[in-house]
Amino acid sequence: MKKLLLPALLFCHVLVKAQSDLLVMKQRGRPVQTWVKGSFFNFQFVNKQWIQGRIREMRNDSLLIDVMVFRSVLTRFGVPAIDTGRVGILKFHVREVYAMPKRRLQSGAFSDGALLQVGSGGFIFLNIFNSLTHGEAVFGGNNPSALGIAAGIFGIGTLISLTHKDYVVLGKKFSLEIMHGGG
């Protein structure tokens, strides 16, 4: 039994790595997200193209990504499914990453203005529809003020949707760097 213990320990020592390289996204110097070799990585390249794939290797300040494409296709039974295709290996510098998707997406209806647009648009439609079906003047009585307020809320929702981003741009607030492990 003791004769097998030493070869087994040597074999385990060869297989086990203590630490590996990390790709770290930092917000004002604090790590907020990390990736290791083999992790799925989604980012926007400096040419504004979104790229996704698995991290194949990290060298100094460069990444090798096995780029993948995901497409929705129909099976032979007419059921939608996701098809994955490999494009190839992409090597790039860490500074060529322009943006990253937000990690925690807020509820889209509340944060991107869509709820305000749908609610005020529905109010405007129903108000005009009811006025026309009841034979009342569309801009008579208190309708102009109600329609004006609803149009203003619709405008606010549109403004929010134009300024809402579901990604973070790397630069002053966020940074990306490779930390090399000892293994």
Per-residue pLDDT tens digits of the chain, which is 183 residues long: 666 655 655 555 555 555 578 888 898 989 988 899 999 999 999 999 999 999 999 988 889 999 998 889 998 998 999 888 888 999 999 999 999 888 765 555 567 788 888 899 999 999 889 888 888 888 888 888 888 899 999 998 889 888 878 788 888 899 888 888 765
Domain that holds residue 153: 108-163
What values do phi and psi take at 35, rounded to 5?
A: -135, 150
What pLDDT is stored for residue 12 in this prediction? 52
7 and 65 housed in the same domain: yes
Residue with tokens 């098809």: 83
What pLDDT is stored for residue 132 in this prediction? 87
pTM of the prediction? 0.63
41 and 81 housed in the same domain: yes
117 and 30 housed in the same domain: no
98 and 170 housed in the same domain: yes
What pLDDT is stored for residue 43 in this prediction? 92
What pLDDT is stored for residue 115 in this prediction? 86
Please state the domain count of the chain. Answer: 2
27 and 89 housed in the same domain: yes
11 and 101 housed in the same domain: yes
What pLDDT is stored for residue 11 in this prediction? 58
What pLDDT is stored for residue 10 in this prediction? 55
69 and 137 housed in the same domain: no
